[in-house]
């Protein structure tokens, strides 16, 4: 009946609003210092895509962008369209394990303040750049009243992805030994759980979902890499991932990036990145299909709403935050 909650399981869609400069910085390209941006191209395209699917998502934003005019404008537009705005750090450095507590707190607070100044509510969710997460960070998120973290990618191919990314990198920060997740994530749960911090377990972890059993990623970047080789293979791969989620009772959380709708001419310097040889229009066509396929099986929401829905039934699994590196 109208107004009653859907009987279908929930799934979420999120967007990491990583900017061009952030990718160049992580890749050791000095052009990042000029802070090149593609937000003016990517954000309207993504909002149009989400609007066509009547989809509310969560957008994880970088504080250093939000304090700029184009970033503040993007946050205002995202919030006005009904999407949740969450924290993706201030500097977008995927080596948070090298930060002390004072620097970690600054990363959170400066981004929170920038988001509120841009007209969005104070964030209740966090995702670390490059899936970077430490026990100190988990404790700090808990202390600051965050409802959830979404920084883990439970897969065994993190070292392979890291090696692929670092090909030809001459000056990347030495902290990138945990880029795409450290070893603590290899056997982490694929579904949601709560972090134990001291004598309580309030903070929910909602991983970027990988295939149950196989632990293979299926978010936008990986699908586009397959799509370059074979559009049919990419679609079968994603359909298989959804079937496994349904069979294993995993409610998926799908991750997207701006590069999933941009081509190489719109993101100069990212020729190394998967899928950048595809036209932006072809990428959008794939995402149209992906979102429609996801909606066939699940009720779609943002990450915050996904977590709230899971908490209604209770998130029984608990993981001790001590299993993570402590940080600097």
Q: What is the pLDDT of residue 2?
A: 45
User: Which DSSP helix (H) or strand (E) runs through 2?
Assistant: none
Give the residue from 125, 27, 50, 44 showing the smallest Cα distance to 291. Answer: 50
In order of their start, the domains of the chain are 10-323 (3.20.20.370)
- Give me the pLDDT at residue 118, please: 98
- The pLDDT value recorded for residue 325 is 81
In the predicted model, residues of the chain with pLDDT beneath 70 are 1-6, 158-184, 327-328
Q: Where are the beta strands (DSSP E) in the chain?
A: 10-16, 58-61, 84-87, 125-126, 148-149, 193-196, 204-205, 253-256, 299-301, 318-320
**CB contact at 8 A, 327 and 101:** yes
| Single pTM value for the model | 0.93
Please say whether the dihedral angle defined by the alpha carbons of residues 191, 109, 82 and 68, taken in this order, is positive or negative.
Answer: negative
Residue 172: predicted pLDDT: 47
Encode burial over 132-160: b for 16+ CB neighbours within 10 A, e otherwise.
Answer: bbbbbbbbbbbebebbbbbbbbbbebbbe
């Amino acid at each position: 009946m109208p107004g009653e909650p859907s009987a279908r399981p929930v799934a979420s869609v999120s967007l990491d609003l990583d900017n061009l400069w952030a990718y160049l910085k992580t890749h050791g390209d000095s052009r990042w210092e000029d802070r090149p941006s593609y937000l003016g191209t990517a954000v309207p395209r993504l909002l149009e895509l989400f609007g066509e699917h009547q989809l509310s998502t969560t957008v994880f934003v970088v504080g250093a962008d939000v304090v700029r005019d184009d970033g503040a404008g993007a946050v205002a537009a995202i919030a006005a369209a009904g999407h949740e705005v969450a924290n993706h750090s201030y500097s977008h450095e995927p080596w948070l394990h090298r930060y002390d507590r004072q620097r970690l707190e600054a990363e959170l607070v400066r981004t929170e303040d920038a988001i509120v100044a841009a007209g969005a509510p104070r964030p209740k969710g966090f995702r670390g750049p490059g899936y970077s997460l430490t026990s100190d960070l988990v404790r700090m998120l808990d202390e600051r009243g965050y409802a959830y973290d979404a920084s883990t990618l439970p897969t065994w191919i993190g070292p392979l992805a890291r090696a692929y990314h670092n090909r030809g990198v001459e000056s990347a920060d030495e902290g990138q030994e945990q880029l795409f997740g450290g070893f603590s994530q290899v056997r982490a749960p694929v579904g949601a759980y709560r972090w134990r911090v001291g004598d309580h377990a309030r903070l929910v972890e909602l991983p970027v979902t990988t295939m149950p059993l196989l632990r293979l990623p299926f978010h936008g970047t990986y699908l586009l890499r397959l799509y370059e080789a074979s559009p049919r293979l990419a679609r079968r791969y994603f359909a298989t991932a959804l079937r496994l989620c349904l069979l294993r009772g995993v409610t998926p959380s799908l991750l997207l990036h701006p590069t999933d709708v941009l081509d190489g001419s719109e993101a100069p310097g990212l020729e190394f990145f998967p899928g950048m040889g595809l036209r932006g229009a072809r990428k959008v066509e794939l995402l149209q299909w992906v979102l429609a396929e996801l909606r066939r099986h699940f009720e779609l929401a943002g990450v915050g709403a996904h977590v709230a829905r899971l908490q209604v039934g209770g998130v029984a699994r608990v993981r001790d935050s001590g299993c993570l590196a402590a940080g600097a």
